[in-house]
Amino acid sequence: MWQVSGAHGYIDREKAIKAMGIYVDKGFITWDLADHYGPAEDLVKLFQERRLNIKGPSSLEGVKFFTKWVPRPQTITRQVVKKAIDLSRKRMGMKSLDMLQFHWWDYQDNNYLNAIEYLDELRRDGAIAHLGLTNFDTEHVQEFINMGIEIVSNQVQYSLIDRRPEKGMMELCKAHDIKLLAYGTLCGGLLSKKYLGQPEPFNEQLYTASLYKYKNMIDRWGGWKLFQTLLKKLADIAKKYKVSIANVAVRYVLENPVVGGAIIGARLGISEHIEENARVFNFSLSPEDYDQINEILTKSRDLMKIIGDCGDEYR
């Protein structure tokens, strides 16, 4: 639901709520959002209220909403944490948050240690069902594990372009049964048929925050020429399975056993790819597919050396 934050075009509230219902009816029942994604938390409350009134409690069975707390730099007290979580609960109309994902901007400010302890207290008190992380690197996930904090997930950028999670993060998560929630899996839509064989986009052609962000990531990864080589290979594989380039890109990430889910952006009420996205569950990649894809990926630059570990691009 980053797409309702204002950086991806105007989102009409009524159309967005209607679109959410269509997604849920089609089986897409888990939603990723944040306290700073514009009206995202408010939309969740409205959606749940209307669905309950029209279709009853059973229509929300299994539907989950994962929000985030992204505090600005400040002294962290239990009161600060509780106030933030209570606000999200109020905005979303939920007594207990399905999952709270914690992000911290600056590791030099060790108030994050207080924050995670207070969040864990709120989890034990029932205000939060599960506690996850957003954009934490391997070292600091390990730090939380050493503190005895029950972490179930870490949301990180993970795609064919950005495979940094396959380094130390993956092994740590596997050892401690922590799932990765992968975002940027389609690079804002760049990993799709729409950009196959197309000239390199610039300026106004990068008309959403996602396109701008992930085009920069492609530049650092290896550039547009290598990206086109990758798209052509994905198109060949997609044709074999009668699916889309986007499906192959998502499947690559989902088949990693440490990945709990791939987050696909939805421009609610503007652009829907529901039927196409559902096809990702209809096939699996073969060893030959991986070999062909990895042959191209080995020609790219090492983003661990250029950017650093998961989430370092934000610090």
Q: Is the pLDDT of residue 3 over 90?
A: no
Q: Is the pLDDT of residue 268 over 90?
A: no
Please give the pLDDT value at position 266. Answer: 84
Q: Is the pLDDT of residue 271 over 90?
A: no
Average pLDDT over the chain, rounded to an integer: 96
61 confidence band (pLDDT: 50, 70, 90): very high
Lowest mean pLDDT among 160-174, 178-192, 260-274: 260-274
Phi, psi of 114 (to 5 degrees): -65, -40
Work out the average pLDDT over 273-298. 96
Tens digit of pLDDT for each residue in 165-177? 999 999 999 999 9
Q: Which residues contact 273 (CB under 8 A, 6 or more apart)?
A: 246, 264
Q: Is the pLDDT of residue 179 over 80?
A: yes
- Which residues does residue 101 pair with via DSSP β-bridges, in sequence order? 68, 132
- Which residues does residue 102 pair with via DSSP β-bridges, in sequence order? 69, 133
Please give the pLDDT value at position 111. Answer: 97
Work out the average pLDDT over 77-86. 98
Please give the pLDDT value at position 208. Answer: 86
Q: Is the pLDDT of residue 10 over 90?
A: no
Tokens of 294: 């990895």
Helical (H) or strand (E) element with 283: none
Q: Which of 50, 125, 59, 52 is nearest to 89 (CA)?
A: 125
Q: Which of 150, 145, 148, 149 is nearest to 171 (CA)?
A: 145
Measure the CA–CA gap between 300 and 289, rounded to whole angstroms: 18
Work out the average pLDDT over 8-26. 90
**Residue percentage of the chain with pLDDT more than 90:** 92
Q: Is the pLDDT of residue 195 over 90?
A: yes
Tens digit of pLDDT for each residue in 212-265? 999 999 999 999 999 999 999 999 999 999 999 999 999 999 999 999 999 998
Please give the pLDDT value at position 52. Answer: 97
Please give the pLDDT value at position 2. Answer: 87
Q: Which residues contact 5 (CB under 8 A, 6 or more apart)?
A: 36, 37, 38, 40
> Which residue bears the tokens 């993970």?
158
Please give the pLDDT value at position 226. Answer: 98
Measure the CA–CA gap between 293 and 73, rounded to whole angstroms: 41
Q: In this structure, are residues 314 and 105 in contact, taking their beta carbons and an 8 Å threshold? A: yes
